[in-house]
Structure formats: C-alpha cells, structure tokens
Amino acid sequence: MSVSHSSSASVAPEASLFAKLRRMDRDELLGRSAQEVQKRLDDLRAVVGLPPRQPRRGTTTPAGVFFVPHAQIGAIVQAIQSHLPQQATSLVSRAEKICSHKFDLLGYRDLDFGDPIDWSLDPVSGRRASNAPWRRVPYLDYDKVGDHKVPWELSRHQHLTVLVRAWRLSGRDEFLFEAIDQFRDWRRQNPYPRGIHWTSALEVGFRTLSWLWLYQLVDGGDSRQKDFREELEAAIGHSAAYLERFLSTYFSPNTHLLGEALALYAAGSVCRSFEASARWRELGRSILIAEAKKQVLPEGAYFEQSTYYHVYALDMYLHFLALAEANRDSLPQDLRPLVERMAEWLWRLSAGGLPPRFGDDDGGRLFDGARNQPADLLDPLSTAAVLFRRPEFKGACGALREETLWLLGPDAAKRFDSLPASDATPSSKRQDDSGFHLLTAAGQPASAVTVDAGPLGALSGGHGHADALSLQWVRGGRYVLLDPGTGRYPHQTRERNQLRGAAAHSTVCLDELSQAEPSGSFGWEALPQSTTERFAAGRVLDLVVASHAGYERFSPPATHRRWVIFWKHGRLIVRDRIEGAGRRNAAISWRVGPEFAIESLSPDEVAFRTADGERLRLVAPRNPLWSREIFADDWSPCYGRLEAAPTVRFAAAMELPGEWLTALECESAEAEPDAESIQTLQDGRGRELTAYADHRAGSKAILCFADGAQRWKLGPLDSDARFLAFETGPGEPRLMAAGVSRIAWGGKPLLEIAGAPLDQLEWTSSAGIEASSALPASHRAAKGLEKIDIAELLGAATVSC
C-alpha cells in the first residue's frame, strides 16, 4: 500500500516544507512534532545501548478471542478439508515452496531473498535498504533501496501464517518449525528502531495482525510452541505501543489509518495482559468508527476511487465486525449497515462476473497476500454473505472462502450452504457519490458496463487515475474493456504516469495531455470535475450523458462530453464530442481485454476473437480525417507485473467542435457474423442535430442527438427530444427518448405532452409507453409510433462519409 504525497519534484525542499507547515492546523502541527520527538528519543536509547521501550505487563489476564475460540481450530481445519479440499492442497504446496525460500509476492514469482533470508533486500532490483535508524531510511528512493513494497510485502509475515495453517492441515511439523525460525531470524535482523521495516506504521500493523494469527494457531502444546507464543506476545505488545505513537492520522488518513487502527484494536482485544491493552482497543475502535463516516461514501463506495482499495477497506471492516462480535463488543448501530452497503457496492460493481479495476492496484491483501488476482477481489462477498445473510453475495462469489471460516468459525460453512441459491444480478444504477454508473444488459452471460463520471479521487487523488468518462466492460467474467492497471509505485515515474494517465484509458485525450497534472507518484494537480448530465435506465436501453472539465484549463478551453448507450441486447454505442474552439489533436483509445486477439480488419471495423470463439467488434464511421492504430499496450494485471493487451486508438487533428461515434458488439461463439456499419446522417432542416444510422446483424437503428436545437427534423421525423433512438429487428420495434415532449411523423403528432419534457420515455409495440412522469391516458398506448420507418428516414436523409 502506498504513501500519499502531493509535493511536486520541481519545488525546492525548503519551500515545500514551509508550504506544508503553513497548511497544518494546531493539532496536526503538535501531532507531527510529537512523533518526530518520539523517533529521536528512540534513536537516542539505541545509541546509548538501552533496549527499546516495552509496554508494561499487568496482572495475568486471560487472552481475548481472536475471531474464534481456540478450541474451534480443529473444527475449522476439518471444515476446510471437507469443503475446500483444493485450497487445503494448495496451502500445503505453498508451504513447501516457502520452506525452500522461494516467494510469490505481489505480481512476482519465485523471488529469492537469499539463504539466510535478507529481509531488507529487493531481489527484483538487487538493491538493499540500509540498517540505519528507521527515520533516516530513504525508503522512497528507488536508487538506494529499490522498490520498498517488495521487502515490505515479505515482512508482513502473511507467508508465516500460510506455513502454520498448512501445519494445522497436514500435521507436518517442518512447516511450524520453519515459521518459528523465520520469525526469530526477522527479529534478529530488524531490531527496533533500525531498518526499513519500521518506516511505515501500516506495515507494522499488517505484521502485527500476522503475529496475532500465529498466536492464535499455535496452541503451546510443547515447550517450543510455548516459548514461541511468549515471544509473539511480547512482539505484539511492542508493535501495538509503536502504532499508538506513530499512527498515520495526518500522513495517510486512508487505508493506512484503518489498517493501523484494526491492528491496535485486535492487539488490545487479544493480548490483555498489557496495562495499555484497554487503551489500544478503545483507540483502534474509535478510529475505525470515526473513519467509516469519513472514508466511506453514503452509497457504500470507498472514497479513493479505486476498486482495489475499496476491497482493502471492506476487508478491514468485515474483520472489525467479526472481531467485535467474537469479543461481545457492542458497536454503533449504523456501522453494520454501512459495511453491508460496502459489500453491496462491490456486488453491484461485479455485475458482469468480475469487478472493473478502477484506480490503483496495491497488490496485497489483508488476510492472504497471494489472493490478489481480479477474481480474488470477490473474496469479501463470501464473508459478507454469511454475516448479512445475502444469497446474492453468495451467488456472486460462487464458493466459500477459507478466510470466512477463520473469521466466523466452522459453522460458517453450514450458514453459507444454507443460503438459497441465487443468480440475482444487479440492475443498472446511477451512483452519484462515486460516479461509477452501472449499465447492465439482459440475458446470459451477464454483461455490465461501468462509466466513470466521478471525481479523480480523495485527498490529492493519490490512488485515482486520470480516467474521467472512461469505460470498463465485463461480460461473463471476462474483461472486454479494461483499466490498464498500476505497474509499480515508487520508481519508473514515466511508466507510473503513463498507466494512470488519460491516454491509457478508454476515453479521450487532447493534445497528448492528461486530464490532470501528476504531482509526484501519489498526487495530482488541477483535478478535473466530472458532471453527470443525464442518466436513464430502461427496458430498451441505458443512457449516460456526462462531461468533465479537465481540458478547460487549456487556452482556449475544451470540454469532453460523452454519450454512452447500452442496448439491452448488449450493443454498446459511444458518442464523444469535444466542444470548444480552435484546432486540437484528439485521440480516442479502446483498451481491449487481454484474451482478445485480432481476427480481421476492414475500413469500418476491427474484429477480435478469444480462444474459445467469443467475438468483439469495434465499428466506427469512415472518416478520412481520423487515423486508426492497433497495437499491444502495457497492461498490469497485478502490482509489479506488466503484460500486453490490445488497444485500438483513433486520432485526428480536428477543428472544434468535433465528434466521433463508436459501436462495440460482443458476441458468443455461436453467433453468426454479419456486416455492420455506422453512417452519419445529415438533414438540412435539423439545425444542430447529429444523427447516425447503425446497421448490425438483423437490425437497423437511428440515433439522434440534439445538441442545440429546441426542435429538429430528420426527414419525416419531427421532435424536440434531446436524445432519441429507434431500432427495428430482431423482434419488435423499440424506441427510447430523453428530454422529450413531442414526436411526430410526416407532420402528424404521435406524442405531444404539455408542460415540462419527460426525462425518459420508452416504447415497444407490445408494452406501449413507459415514462418517467405520469402520462395522460390518451398517450399511454401512443398509437402510431410503430409508423416510424427507418428505411424512409434513410431515404430522406443524406449519408455523409
């Protein structure tokens, strides 16, 4: 997980420090000053040969419950073996690999830290952090320490919990002994206050939680285990005292603070022999409760505009709920519904079978760092299904997870199985808090498009991307359009900025500039404001109209406005309009999923196909001004790993205002290929009207966009709709209009409403009209709309190529 920084590299350090000090209020200034004093006092103790300060022990107090009573561990092991045999086998295989000192961390495989393990080494770069006092370790300086996240990830000690869980499952003592030896070796090499592993309070928090799992899983049945538990308890107490002093209250008040608070709450709840345990527990508890209202938006989305960090935060709050319940700690009544909304938001975002991966991907996880692939982001829904009794969460995640059993006990398996089978999928939904609007298509496989019309991110936008109005499309658990991912954080600035910039996303880029200016690795300047102008979800299609102001900083300013139309049969139409004046270099990128390979090309179309035959077509009107480029671009499926995925990019030097329309169709292998095309229509009688004819297999559609005209005509069609779409075949005709009070054909009114226009109107010949407002009885059937004839419209309009 990253550290938030907002300073620009071009600013002198003294000026930057002075500016930061001026922005601090009294509490922050005192808090940061106290932490700096504490660091120097700890250094001084080490210089004069005094041991680190240890928290005082009180009277002998029984340990609290770490999620489940110790006596239930055997039953949990049996439940894993019976319900999750493949996971049990995988755990043993992973433990064997760990014993050979080969580590799979983040997106890397078979990392070698040497023998004995060099805990301060980044084996990817070959660089090693010094053993200086931690306040003087330049952990963000890649040239001196490499990528700090790699040694940090190993020193979270989650791999030690893998060893001990495998020992529990297999009975093989060598796994337990390896965990004990590595724990002791780490402590020898990293005495407080020296080294890179004390530079981040969050990393101390994660390590503390791992040690608590070891404390829980080792039963003290012999002298070796008993000694190990005593060492663990002392290490947990020291780490909790560190966390209490060095919380990221002002440094990174995001998931950093949540993770540190959770570790404090857990340590204080379990290790009650320390005099400060009650204070740790209450401090962690109060932070988690207070931050929930700050960091979680009302609809349930996490405020950093990142799917991965939403999952991080959701995991932390699910653990908090489970730990509080195990220790009979009564939490505020509004916290449980808030966490349920977080789970529901993840479920909704995963309507296509996987969640779209907006924003940064950290690469780690709270319980098991190896569960960092896209499908693993559904893991929290297993625990949430049991906690909140939500069958649809069970249906979305598909199967029980091992983590759920360790958090909720062996009965969680029965409770999960007892939930009724559910294939309920989320419906289309406007989500203004996050701006991630969800559009879903009917039928199987499940198909969902997510439109990003929200802010860049919280605070300085550190984990958000400059991806305003970008799209992601997931169909049947497969990425059709995707986010490029993260790459790596602290170095390779060009790579970092490239992957998080506008040009790397399925959106528009002007003059090869991003929508915001990067400021360091974790910040942005001139964050763009996005606005959702219209949202309509219906039986015929879903519509989103949104714009952003990221290019209004130009001179003269320019505005990107995007119409997204998702027909319920699954065809996606996107209209991009750049408004302003002057000449601009515009580019529109489509980031295609990695499973698709080019099948065929034509002047109008690019066709892709997967190994199992699924086909993606990308169709655009011919225009000699626009060039088309198809290439393999960088895609990061997980932190630290780069692979290739197709990108289609259209580019042109254009006079503003200007626009471009693209149609995308994803079909199963059984679908018969047919010719498709998009044509631009012109009719001199309709000022400021843009219309397109969309020809696809077995159907034809007209799409009309009224950008300025209050009343427009296209051949015999006469209306005041801001948007109108009419489609014929296959099946019955379908019409959808937005912002409409009049539709006429050949001079005869088919629909005419007095007063304010309807936000939304839909019509099919079988169901008649459905509208966003009450209609007079005479208009509910709207006899005559079936008279609209696309062939006549095409004959009356001029086709422009």
For the domain 450-673, what is the CATH code?
Answer: 2.70.98.70
Q: Which pLDDT score, from 0 to 100, does residue 275 have? A: 95
Comparing 166-180, 274-288, 658-672, the range with the smallest average pLDDT is 658-672
Note whether 738 and 534 are within 8 A (CB): yes
pLDDT at res. 9: 36
Crossing angle of the two packed helices 85-99 and 173-189, in degrees rounded to 10:
50
- Check residues 768 and 545 and name the one with the higher pLDDT: 545
424 against 737, higher pLDDT: 737
258-269 mean pLDDT: 98
**Mean pLDDT of the region 122-134:** 95
Predicted confidence at residue 302, as pLDDT, reads 97
pLDDT band per the 50, 70, 90 thresholds, residue 702 = very high
Indicate the burial class of 413 (C-beta count within 10 angstroms; 0-12, 13-18, 19 or more): buried
739 vs 461: which has the higher pLDDT: 739
207-223 per-position pLDDT tens digit = 999 999 999 999 878 89
Q: What confidence category does residue 505 fall into, taking pLDDT thresholds of 50, 70 and 90?
A: very high
Measured torsion, CA atoms of residues 735, 737, 743, 746, in degrees rounded to the nearest 10: -50
pLDDT band, residue 687 (cuts 50/70/90): low
Q: What is the pLDDT of residues 298-307, one digit of tens each?
A: 999 999 999 9
Average pLDDT, stretch 129-146?
92
Predicted confidence at residue 801, as pLDDT, reads: 39
- What per-residue confidence (pLDDT) applies to 750? 86
Q: How far is CA 482 from CA 446, 587, 705, in A?
A: 16, 17, 27
Kindly report the average pLDDT of the chain as a whole number: 91
Residues 6+ away with beta carbon under 8 Å from 205: 239, 243, 259, 260, 262, 263, 264
Question: Average of pLDDT values for 45-69?
Answer: 89
pLDDT of 8 higher than 70: no
Instruction: Check residue 490 and give its pLDDT.
Output: 65
- d(C-alpha 647, C-alpha 628), whole Å: 10
> In this predicted structure, what is the pLDDT of residue 754?
81
pLDDT of residue 104: 97
Give dist(CA 508, CA 656) in Å, integer: 14
pLDDT of residue 673: 62
The predicted pLDDT at position 756 comes to: 86
**What are the residue boundaries of the structural domains of the chain, listed by start?**
298-420, 450-673, 676-801
Return the pLDDT at 796.
72
List the single range of 476-485, 757-766, 791-800 with lowest mean pLDDT. 791-800
Q: What per-residue confidence (pLDDT) applies to 715?
A: 87
**What's the confidence (pLDDT) of residue 685?**
56
**CA distance linking residue 305 with residue 483, whole number of Å:** 13
Q: What is the distance between the alpha carbons of residues 448 and 451, in angstroms, rounded to a whole number?
A: 10
Name the least confident of 69-78, 87-96, 508-517, 687-696: 687-696
Over residues 558-578, mean pLDDT: 96
Spatial contact of 641 and 657, defined as CB atoms under 8 Å apart = no
Residue tagged 């950008």 (tokens) = 707
Cis status, amide bond into 445, omega within 30 of 0: yes
Residues counted in the chain: 801
**What per-residue string of b and e applies to 313-344 under the rule 16 or more CB within 10 Å gives b?**
bbbbbbbbbbbbbbbeeebeeebbebbbbbbb
Task: Indicate the helix (H) or strand (E) that contains 279.
Answer: helix 277-295
Residue 182 in this model has a pLDDT that exceeds 90: yes
- Tens of pLDDT, residues 342-370: 999 999 999 999 999 999 998 999 999 99
Residues 79-89, mean pLDDT to the nearest whole number: 96
- What string of H, E and C letters represents the secondary structure of 182-251? HHHHHHHHCCCCECHHHCCHHHHHHHHHHHHHHHHHCCCCCHHHHHHHHHHHHHHHHHHHHHHHCCCCCC
Rg (CA), the chain: 29
Query: Could you tell me the pLDDT band of residue 778, with boundaries at 50, 70 and 90?
Result: low
Please name which of 749, 770, 750 lies closest in space to residue 761, comparing C-alpha atoms: 770
Residue 33, phi then psi, degrees to nearest 5: -65, -40
Decide if pLDDT at 674 tops 70: no
Alpha-carbon distance values, 233 to 214, 503, 555 (Å): 10, 50, 62
> In this structure, what DSSP letter does residue 91 have?
H
pLDDT at position 492 over 90? no
Q: Which residues contact 412 (CB under 8 A, 6 or more apart)?
A: 79, 383, 386, 400, 404, 405
520 versus 447: the higher-pLDDT residue is 447
Q: Tens of pLDDT along 354-411?
A: 999 999 998 999 999 999 999 999 999 999 999 999 999 999 999 999 999 999 999 9
CA distance 710 to 725: 17
Give the separation between CA 716 and CA 479, rounded to whole angstroms.
Answer: 41
At 737, which amino acid appears? A
